[in-house]
Structure 1
Amino acid sequence: MNSKRILAAVVVAIAATGGGFYAGHLMTGGASEAATSANAVDQLWRASLQNAQGTPQTIASFRGRPVVVNFWASWCGPCVKEMPALAAMHREYAGKGITFIGLGVDSEKNVNEFLKKVPVDYPVYIAGFGGADLARSFGNNAGGLPFTVVIDAKGVVRSTKLGEVDLKELKQTLDAL
């Protein structure tokens, strides 16, 4: 009987140690993920971009406000398809203080030709092909487009979406801000 108690105590000790290791691993992963997101947001605010008119600028003026950042390209079919819906959502949520921002992972010429055909009423910046690196900092390791990031007013990434946005999901995220 005594040996059964000792065995039970050993099993409990091993389980507790393993559970503590696992919980620590989860917490470290979460903290690391949060730090990575914060670094990505800081990178976004510091990024030197140019607007569609070719004027160099940063988008740091959007810091402190909720933003939806959409990485897109003129040659990307799903990007082109979702832009009118994103423009409509921008109009819907502008009154709630939420701004949509387009980052063209494309050339200035292609972005401007596209905007002549499909005008959008939210700010569009040319990130060039370096925009793919910025998208990777938000976890888009595949480098695919479109890629959408929702950042709250505190600079916390609330959601990311690789591929065409699901409008219902995006509305739920925005309504929760």
Structure 2
Amino acid sequence: MTKKNLIAYTIVALLFGAVGAYVGVNKSKEKADPVTTTVAPEAAAATTGPVNALYALSLPDAAGATQALAQWKGKNLLVNFWAPWCPPCVQEMPELSELQGEHVGKNLQIIGIGIDSASNIATFAGKFKIAYPVYVSGMSGTDLSRHFGNTTGGLPFTVLIGADGQVKKTYLGRLKFDQLRADLANL
């Protein structure tokens, strides 16, 4: 890489960082309730399409090893779409790790689907202790989240899938863990 390219990449990275900082600082301090939906039983059949698409994927994990997501079939699954540059995503990760620790040996698995480059996800995972598998999807993760009902493409976006393969609930925005724990108790 030439010095000229390095300077150009640095300038672009600084611009993105400045825009992110500006948005973060100027965002309202009030936390809005996450947008949630509960899937009615008669609509459950329509929710198997995105679940089947999810289970059909094989994605690299943070270490670069490709993993089949079908390995999680038959478990209650909490799928968290996130990105390292998304402050609410990063803020909820310690609580998600704690939740995964509470459910070790139980029928719940949390997975993270990172919407960023493999190198950024690997760097992030190396800096922070994450107690659940994190996979790299790049921008295709946004398309997958849209199939689950995330029409705006916002992050974080979380999907609760029952062991029966049906979408039970979706959450847009930072999770409210009291509500999530109540939803998990109803599975």
Question: In structure 2, what residue type is equivalent to 1:136?
Answer: R
The question of 1:84 aligning with 2:80 is answered: no
Q: Alignment length, in residue pairs?
A: 148
The question of 1:120 aligning with 2:130 is answered: yes
* Displacement after TM superposition at 1:151 (Å): 0.6
Contact in 2 for aligned 1:74/1:111 (Cα 8 Å): yes
Describe the SS at the equivalent of 2:84: coil
The question of 1:64 aligning with 2:74 is answered: yes
TM-score scaled by length of structure 2: 0.75
Name 1:130's counterpart in structure 2.
140
Name 2:156's counterpart in structure 1.
146
Question: In structure 2, what residue type is equivalent to 1:163?
Answer: G
Name 2:171's counterpart in structure 1.
161
Distance in 1 between residues matched to 2:104 and 2:153, nearest whole Å: 29
Give 4+ residue runs of structure 1 displaced > 2 Å after superposition. 33-36
Q: Give the root-mean-square deviation of aligned CA atoms.
A: 1.4
Question: In structure 1, what residue type is equivalent to 2:78?
Answer: V
Describe the SS at the equivalent of 1:42: helix
* Displacement after TM superposition at 1:30 (Å): 7.1
Describe the SS at the equivalent of 1:154: coil
Question: In structure 1, what residue type is equivalent to 2:100?
Answer: H
TM-score scaled by length of structure 1: 0.80
Contact in 2 for aligned 1:36/1:137 (Cα 8 Å): no
Question: CA offsets, 1:68-124, max 9 Å, x none?
Answer: 100000000000000000000010122322110010011111111111221201111
Question: CA offsets, 1:124-174, max 9 Å, x none?
Answer: 110111000110110001000000011111001111001000101100111
Matches within 5 A, 1:45-60: 45-60=55-70
Which has the larger Rg? 1
- Structure with more of its chain in helix, by fraction: 1
* Displacement after TM superposition at 1:36 (Å): 3.0
Distance in 1 between residues matched to 2:109 and 2:136, nearest whole Å: 17
Contact in 2 for aligned 1:71/1:146 (Cα 8 Å): yes
Contact in 2 for aligned 1:106/1:126 (Cα 8 Å): yes
- Aligned identity (percent) is 44
Describe the SS at the equivalent of 1:128: coil
Distance in 2 between residues matched to 1:113 and 1:66, nearest whole Å: 28
Distance in 2 between residues matched to 1:85 and 1:160, nearest whole Å: 17
The question of 1:102 aligning with 2:93 is answered: no
